[in-house]
Amino acid sequence: MTFMLFIYCLYTIFILFFPSLIIFTVAETSFITQYQSLSYGNTIVSPHGIFELGFFNLGNPNKIYLGIWYKNVPLKDVVWVANGGSPIKASSILKLNRYGNLVLTYNNKVVWCTSSSETVQNPVAELLDSGNLVIRDENRTKAYTYLWQSFDYPSNTMLPGMQIGWNLKRSLSTHLIAWKSDDDPTPGDLSWGIILHPYPEICIMKGTKKYYRLGPWNGLRFSGRPLMKLNDPSNNYEFVSNKEEVYYRWSLKQTSLISRVVLNQTTKERRRYVLSKKSWTL
Ligand SMILES: *[C@@H]1O[C@H](CO)[C@@H](O)[C@H](O)[C@H]1NC(C)=O
Ligand SMILES: *[C@@H]1O[C@H](CO)[C@@H](O)[C@H](O)[C@H]1NC(C)=O
């Protein structure tokens, strides 16, 4: 009895003096709910432990970024950055507000936030095994119900399942933007996406100029790129063009493969990496 009382007292003291620890700690989970926040050192992990979301630096501890990386790849390669152009300090906090937006603050100033399409009763943010960070209603899991998704706002990396192109209804262009350099995720001047006129065309752009183009989609493949085989044994390529959207998507036939495409500011090219035996091969 005395022991129970002792434990209870300890617990009460803990709650009284360290309420922030309880509110701000996220155990290994793939979610951030309205009542939780994520601070430096804490992460969320996708359900099967493939991707992790949290804060990282690229060598300079005073330049911290919010991002997503592979959890079980030794180099923890970053596949998405929220605040590439505006690094923060360790005391920053990521919260999901009641309007269903993730808000990253430093010294009470908003450094980055999402733009959810509507408000819902119980918003949650979840990191999926595809590497997509989505905001949705707690009880709605279908992709079309997402209020916001990081796949719409890529960094320099295309992951399988991501759509590069245009959501015409929302006038939203989804394209890759190269990092300035390997240790600086500030958006560079090189981007890769779809230009709509006069035909949808996949291009690497340098600033506003076409740098390299794949050519228009001829129904089977991009005409400028004969190597892109239709009956590729390990990849599916898809191009969709209708009144609402125009996009290019790539997915893997073997879901056990880990692969990514990175737009590189230095070499001015897109490179496909495949993970094999714990290291990336081109
Ligand atoms: C959402 O799901 C939870 C658990 O399944 C349930 O308790 C809750 O009532 C649901 N909320 C709504 C708004 O349907
Ligand atoms: C870009 O290419 C250079 C040269 O091969 C390489 O050192 C660098 O790591 C690449 N950067 C990215 C972001 O892939």
Q: Which of 47-51, 110-114, 123-127, 216-220 has the lowest mean pLDDT?
A: 216-220
Alpha helices by DSSP H, 149-278:
none
- Give yes or no for residue 139 CB within 6 A of ligand 1: yes
What does the pLDDT read at residue 171?
92
Residue 203 in contact with residue 193, Cβ under 8 Å? yes
Entry pTM? 0.84
Quick one: which ligand is closest to 176's CA?
A: 2
Which ligand 2 atom sits nearest the alpha carbon of residue 265? Answer: 1
Residue 228 confidence (pLDDT) above 70? no
Closest CA to ligand 1's atom 2:
139
Confidence of residue 27 (pLDDT cuts 50, 70, 90): low
Rounded to the nearest angstrom, the distance between the alpha carbon of 173 and the centre of ligand 2 is 25
- Give yes or no for residue 141 CB within 6 A of ligand 1: no
Distance CA 238, CA 218 (A): 12
Closest CA to 151 of 119, 114, 123: 114
Which ligand 1 atom sits nearest the alpha carbon of residue 138? Answer: 1
What does the pLDDT read at residue 117?
83
CATH (residue range 1-153): 2.90.10.10
Which ligand 1 atom sits nearest the alpha carbon of residue 121? Answer: 13
Compute the average pLDDT of residues 214-237.
Answer: 62
Q: Domain locations in the chain?
A: 1-153, 154-282
Residue 215 confidence (pLDDT) above 70? no
Quick one: which ligand is closest to 137's CA?
A: 1
Ligand 2 neighbours (beta carbon < 6 A): 179, 182, 262, 264, 266-267
* pLDDT tens digit sequence for 238-270: 888 889 999 999 888 887 889 999 999 988 888
What does the pLDDT read at residue 22?
45
Closest CA to ligand 2's atom 9:
182
Q: Extract the runs of DSSP E, i.e. beta strands, from 171-277.
A: 172-174, 176-181, 184-195, 201-206, 209-216, 235-241, 245-252, 259-264, 269-276
* pLDDT tens digit sequence for 32-76: 999 889 999 999 999 999 999 999 999 999 999 999 999 988 878
